[in-house]
């Protein structure tokens, strides 16, 4: 399929949401992994996953971006409009894009991070080390609790498979990113007001175990960043899912300034604060790489987190 609109776009986070300074490369669209909350199902996209083949257009856009900008560092996210590693074709096209960006980054004296974000374990099929000049590749795994995966992320890899994949990606030379997105409170459907605290505490404890497990498994020096955000749904999604009696929606979700429904501020800040506290107690250095995602500045403040961008996070080589 031919892409007619831009391949490369500055990420549009939405009104008053903190900008993490990413560009999205939309090399494909749609995904058949079937996450119940996925915005792609509610957008105008082809009905099956597609890859855009006209990479010459992407090359032209990257040239313009690099030649017109004084900045030296770019962060590209290749997992926004499709799962980065969904199929073999995704792999093939990704390699092409990475070669193009690497060549141009060198030519225009830029440095790039390329994030490949996935809920699969398809990286296990990749049997080669990837090294490119003027860039670092980041393997970003969205980690969810097993019960969330079973309920809402139907065809995706299990938590253990996702963690195993992180370890494997590390062995291939990738930097690693942990994406705790979206954090979903469960159960919420049909619960009473007084049961919310239990559901929230329950989720926090399970996330602590998840984080402990992953931090014990991977090389901490290879972590580029940890981001977290709780569930957010567009107005349209919220309406449709509520009508379908989806177990995602409940009465403690409110419309925010960016026109997305989220859990209430006290719920979000409680979850973030407890997780941040836990990360700090486990490894203080990792806290410097921890960011909120798709949140407002007042939530960062509630969590005593200094606002930073993905391009501000210092990796292993910069720390030396
Ligand atoms: S893996 Fe990502 S892109 Fe695919 S359905 Fe789930 S949320 Fe959507």
Cβ atoms 169, 161 nearer than 8 A: no
Mean pLDDT of 111-137: 92
Confidence check: pLDDT of 150 > 50: yes
Whole-number pLDDT of residue 319: 44
Pairing mode, if any, of strands 111-118 and 73-77? Answer: parallel
The yes-or-no verdict on residue 316 having pLDDT over 70 is no
Classify residue 5 by burial, with Cβ atoms within 10 Å: 0-12, 13-18, 19+: exposed
Of all atoms in ligand 1, which is nearest to the CA of residue 117?
Answer: 2
State how far the alpha carbon of 94 is from the alpha carbons of 20, 206, 216, 300, 307, in Å: 23, 34, 30, 33, 31
Contact 49, 26 (CB under 8 A): no
Q: How far is the CA of 42 from the centre of ligand 1 (A)?
A: 12
Domain ranges of the chain: 8-319
CATH number of the structural domain 8-319:
3.80.30.30
Q: Rounded to the nearest whole angstrom, what is the distance from the C-alpha of residue 35 to the centroid of ligand 1?
A: 6
**Sign of the alpha-carbon torsion through 229, 21, 90, 42:** positive
pLDDT at 218 over 60: yes
Q: What is the mean pLDDT of residues 249-276?
A: 97
pLDDT reported for residue 130 = 79
**pLDDT, averaged across the chain:** 94
139-143, 163-167, 281-285, 290-294 — which is least confidently predicted?
281-285
What's the mean pLDDT in 103-117? 97
Give me the DSSP letters along 265-282.
HHHHHHHHHHHHHHHHHH
Positive or negative, the Cα torsion across 242, 247, 252, 255? negative
Mean pLDDT of 111-134: 92
- The ligand 1 site (C-beta within 6 Å) comprises 31, 33-35, 38, 40, 82-83, 119, 156
Torsion sign across C-alpha atoms 89, 91, 97, 103: negative
pLDDT of 154 > 50? The answer is yes
Between 186 and 159, the more confident residue is 159
What would the pLDDT profile of 10-58 be if each residue is shown by its tens digit? Answer: 999 999 999 999 999 999 999 999 999 999 988 877 889 999 999 999 9
CA of 33 to the centre of ligand 1 (A): 6
Count of CB atoms situated within 10 Å of the CB of 54: 13
- Between the CA of 25 and the centroid of ligand 1 the distance, in Å, is 16
The per-residue pLDDT for 317 is 56
Residue carrying structure tokens 């225009």: 108
| Nearest-atom index, ligand 1, CA of 83 | 3
Ligand 1, atom 2: nearest CA belongs to which residue?
A: 83
Give the pLDDT confidence of 68-106 residue by residue, as tens digits.
999 999 999 999 999 999 999 999 999 999 999 999 999
- Does residue 222 surpass a pLDDT of 50? yes
Give residue 320's pLDDT: 33
Alpha-carbon span 79 to 257, nearest angstrom? 25
Could you tell me which of 115, 83, 71, 69 has the C-alpha nearest to residue 315? 115
Q: What percent of the chain has pLDDT over 90?
A: 88
């Amino acid at each position: 399929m031919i892409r007619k609109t831009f391949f490369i776009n500055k990420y549009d986070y939405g009104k008053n949401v903190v900008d993490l300074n990413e560009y999205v490369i939309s090399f494909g669209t749609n995904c058949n992994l079937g996450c119940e909350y996925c915005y792609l199902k509610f957008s105008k996209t082809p009905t099956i996953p597609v890859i855009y083949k006209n990479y010459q257009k992407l090359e032209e856009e990257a040239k313009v971006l690099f030649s017109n900008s004084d900045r030296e560092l770019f962060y590209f996210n290749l997992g926004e409009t499709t799962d980065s590693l969904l199929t073999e074709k995704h792999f093939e096209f990704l390699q092409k894009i990475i070669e193009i960006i690497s060549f141009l980054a060198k030519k225009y004296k830029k440095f790039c991070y390329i994030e490949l974000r996935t809920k699969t374990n398809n990286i296990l099929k990749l049997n080669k080390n990837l090294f490119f000049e003027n860039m670092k590749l980041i393997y970003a795994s969205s980690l969810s609790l097993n019960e969330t995966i079973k309920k809402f992320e139907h065809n995706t890899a299990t938590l253990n498979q996702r963690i195993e994949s992180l370890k494997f990606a590390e062995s291939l030379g990738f930097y690693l990113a942990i994406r705790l997105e979206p954090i979903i409170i469960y159960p919420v459907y049909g619960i009473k007001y007084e049961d919310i605290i239990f559901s929230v505490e329950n989720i926090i404890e399970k996330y602590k175990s998840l984080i402990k497990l992953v931090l014990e498994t991977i090389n901490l020096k290879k972590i580029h960043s940890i981001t977290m955000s709780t569930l957010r749904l567009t107005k349209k999604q919220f309406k449709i899912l509520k009508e379908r009696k989806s177990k995602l929606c409940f009465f403690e979700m409110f419309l925010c300034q960016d026109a997305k429904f989220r859990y209430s501020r006290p719920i979000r800040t409680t979850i973030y604060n407890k997780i941040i506290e836990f990360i700090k107690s486990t490894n203080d250095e990792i806290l410097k790489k921890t960011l909120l995602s798709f949140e407002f500045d007042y939530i960062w403040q509630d969590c005593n987190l200094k606002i930073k961008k993905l391009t501000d996070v210092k990796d292993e080589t910069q720390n030396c």
